[in-house]
Amino acid sequence: MLLDLFYELAMPPLLERSETRAYTDALEEIALADRLGFHGVWLVEHHSTPGYSHLSKPDLVLAALSQRTSRLRLGLGVIPLPYHHPLHVAERIGTLDLLCGGRLEVGIGRGFSPREYAAFGIDPARSRELVEESLAVLRAAGADAPVFHHGPGFHIEGMTVLPRPLQRPYPPLWTAAVSPETFEWAAREGLGVLAGPFKPWPMIAADVRRYRDAWRHREPPRVGMTVGMLCLEDGRRARAMAGPALRWSYGELLRVTAPVLERLVPGYEHFRELGRFRRLFELGARLRVLELAGLVIVGTPAHCRERLEQLREAGVTHLLCAIGAGAVPTELVRESLECLASDVLPRVREAH
């Protein structure tokens, strides 16, 4: 299993920090992770989600990180394709891959916010169609030839996409995956899957089995899973510090996803299954409950190693660690990174 980091650039009231400070802290933490030997980092794209995520242009942040890091894989996690013209996306991918020396990972998805769809004038019922059509354009853009595409959403007549990515035939492609159908589609398309933090682990485990069973490609399947994490030498201290942060983070996740759970739109029917877990969060999202659901990993290095091994055996290949879920002070994030690097990463490398 490979250990990556996951950032949403949250602005929790308990930290009382400015946006400038949040961005500076994240850049410095990620640069530290690069020196410590972590595998990668993933940045989300969200729009108009005050508090929960102030990261609307991850490609700009990755451009900055391309000059501050030398080893980390840099991940777009994910680009909501229905909001963007695929030629613009292809150009961003090519530019970022050149800047980082071929270290880019590309996640795509549909997005899930009715507010975002309304703001960009997109019908969410067309989201699957737009993603599949945009993916075809991205793959065509990776070839050494002009792009010709004629579909219901886009008409492209001989456009040469520049610059071209350094990685050939294309940077690794992933998709956000919530519904079982998306896991099966990803397997058919040869895409890695990025799961969580929407679903409890038992549901994700079943999806991962379905994905791996459907995989028919030469290269091995890739499964990424996002978890809230805090690893410290003192397990009691880790739980005491992580509790308020993780409760706030998952409460904000509920607030952001509530419109989908309450007013399902075509193509998002699977969120109805998740609705039954809503009460879990409304009851306070206590740390123990979040742990039982497999949404967080908090404790000593030994405890974290044990949980990582369970996930690895279930088929998870990349763990996307949201250290403190973006809601603990940067000093604590750094301490946890150091702890993981000294007491967890070596064991993970041996298993890998």
* Residue range 131-139: mean pLDDT, rounded: 97
* Beta carbons within 10 angstroms of residue 332's beta carbon: 18
pLDDT of residue 283: 52
The pairing of strands 40-43 and 2-7 is parallel
> Is the pLDDT confidence value at 268 over 80?
no
pLDDT for 199 beyond 70: yes
Query: What pLDDT was estimated at residue 92?
Result: 98
Using one digit for the tens of pLDDT, what is the confidence trace for 277-307? 555 555 556 888 889 889 999 999 999 999 9
Cβ pair 81, 135 in contact under 8 A: yes
For 136, phi and psi rounded to 5 degrees?
Answer: -60, -40
Q: Is the pLDDT of residue 349 over 80?
A: no
Q: Give strand pairing partners of 23.
A: none
pLDDT of residue 197: 75
Question: In this predicted structure, what is the pLDDT of residue 260?
Answer: 62
The dihedrals phi and psi of 33, each to the nearest 5 degrees, come to -60, -35
The topology (CATH level 3) of 2-351 is TIM Barrel (3.20.20)
Which pLDDT tens digit goes with each residue over 305-344?
999 999 999 999 999 999 999 999 999 999 999 999 999 9
- Residue 229 region, left (φ>0) first, then alpha (ψ -120 to 50), else beta? beta
> Average per-residue pLDDT in the chain?
92
Mean pLDDT of 153-158: 96
Indicate whether 258 pLDDT > 80.
no
- The reported pLDDT for the residue numbered 81 is 98
Helices 19-36 and 330-343 cross at an angle (nearest 10°) of 10
Q: What is the pTM of this model?
A: 0.94
* 269-281: pLDDT as tens digits: 555 555 555 555 5
Checking if the pLDDT of 263 tops 60, the result is: no
Given a cut of 60, is residue 198 above it in pLDDT?
Answer: yes
Instruction: Tell the residue number behind the tokens 């039982």, with chain if given.
Output: 292
DSSP string over 248-273: HHHHHHHHHHHHHHHS--TT-TTHHH
pLDDT above 70: residue 266? no
Residue 104 · residue 97 · CB < 8 Å:
yes
Q: Which residue has the higher pLDDT, 308 or 259?
A: 308
Q: Are the C-beta atoms of residues 228 and 327 closer than 8 Å to each other?
A: no
Per cent of the chain over pLDDT 70 is 91
Position 204 scores a pLDDT of 93
| Domain ranges (residues) in the chain | 2-351
